[in-house]
Amino acid sequence: MHDFLNRLPKAELHLHLEGSLEPELMFELAQRNGIQLPYVSVEEVRAAYQFGNLQDFLDIYYQGAEVLQTEQDFYDLTWAYLQRCSEQNVIHTEPFFDPQTHTDRGIAFETVINGIDRALRDGRQQLGISSRLILCFLRHLDESAAFETLQQAMPHRDKFIAVGLDSSERGNPPEKFARVFAAARDAGLLTVAHAGEEGPAAYIRDALDLLQVSRVDHGVRAVEDEALMQRLIDSGMALTVCPLSNTKLQVFSDMRQHNILQMLARGVKVTVNSDDPAYFGGYMTENFVALYEALGLSKTQAVQLSRNAFEVAFVSEPEKQALLARLDRFAADEGVG
């Protein structure tokens, strides 16, 4: 089953590039850029990755991002992630990046996006991995800062397809960013938002109504509101669920309590993603394997989860059909109906 899940053609729709910064690369970049880390070894960094809530995680996440300084650093970060994708048969990815994490410490916006974009282009050409980039606003900052970031981004409009909303959910409701999301939509950008992870189910509804999102990132607390659940089912709204992240941050205390397969059975368009894999203990295959080991994920369910992701990817219809055809061939070869 592990081998099946690794070979399964997959799309990843919820991945923070900064959250794929492995300790080894963190040390390499720190040395390259003359940055003193508060850790003496890779093992010490991994030990620091034992956190119990979102804020503790974010504190070390932003600290790790300090080593990212040059265009080459952002290229190397993205390329390392794409190599993981190649190893795990992730054939399409739509990663997030947090420009404010970098511009707030004096790194130029174009330094960040040019490095990422160059790696994604090389990923298409050298690894055959298609991609679309999503720019995320940090919700613990104010909306005026998000507007400033959107303005900085517009000269690079050809390099990203959507805007998102991440960071601390509690106390930062979707309505705080309604105007900047409207401006992004007016500019022809798609929208997504983190909602219903540590925040309540009401934040999912607000993301749908106020931000007019095309997908909800996380969304696992939708089960607390039956009317919302029915709305998600009826509309085919996708949730980009991150199982290992959810258990690491105690959204669920144990993977056996996770509700993703219950939602799948009810007809919610759930997908599997790795979120911040360097910090949460696994990339795409590891997330699928965790569902198999804890919840008895079947081959049929795994294929359906993958199908959901391809169906809601931000790609053209011909690209979507080509991706789905690859999944269908795999399923047929494996005898999965």
Domains in the chain (CATH in brackets) are 2-334 (3.20.20.140)
Say whether 165 sits in a helix, a strand or coil. Answer: strand
SS3 130: strand
- Cα distance between residue 22 and residue 71, in whole Å: 18
Residues 196-251: tens digit of each pLDDT: 999 999 999 999 999 999 999 999 999 999 999 999 999 999 999 999 999 999 99
Question: For residues 27 and 42, what is the distance between their CA atoms, to the nearest angstrom?
Answer: 7
Alpha carbons 20 and 43: distance in angstroms, whole number: 17
The segments of the chain whose pLDDT lies below 50 read none
Helices (H), the chain: 2-7, 23-33, 42-48, 54-65, 71-87, 99-103, 109-122, 143-153, 178-186, 201-209, 226-235, 243-248, 260-266, 277-280, 284-295, 299-311, 317-334
Active site residues: 197
The predicted-structure confidence for 148-182, as pLDDT tens digits, reads as follows 999 999 999 999 999 999 999 999 999 999 999 99
pLDDT of residue 128: 98
**Chain center to CA of 92:** 12
3-state secondary structure 233-261: HHHCCEEEECHHHHHHCCCCCCHHHCCHH
What φ, ψ does residue 88 adopt, rounded to 5°?
-110, 15
pLDDT on residue 189: 98
Instruction: Please write down the HEC assignment for all residues of 30-47.
Output: HHHHCCCCCCCCHHHHHH
pLDDT score recorded for residue 214: 98
Question: How far is residue 122's CA from residue 138's CA, in Å, rounded to a whole number?
Answer: 28
pLDDT value, residue 48: 83
Contact 100, 129 (CB under 8 A): no
Please tell me the pTM assigned to this model.
0.97
Q: Residue 189, SS3?
A: coil
Within 8 A by CB and 6+ apart from 234, the residues are: none
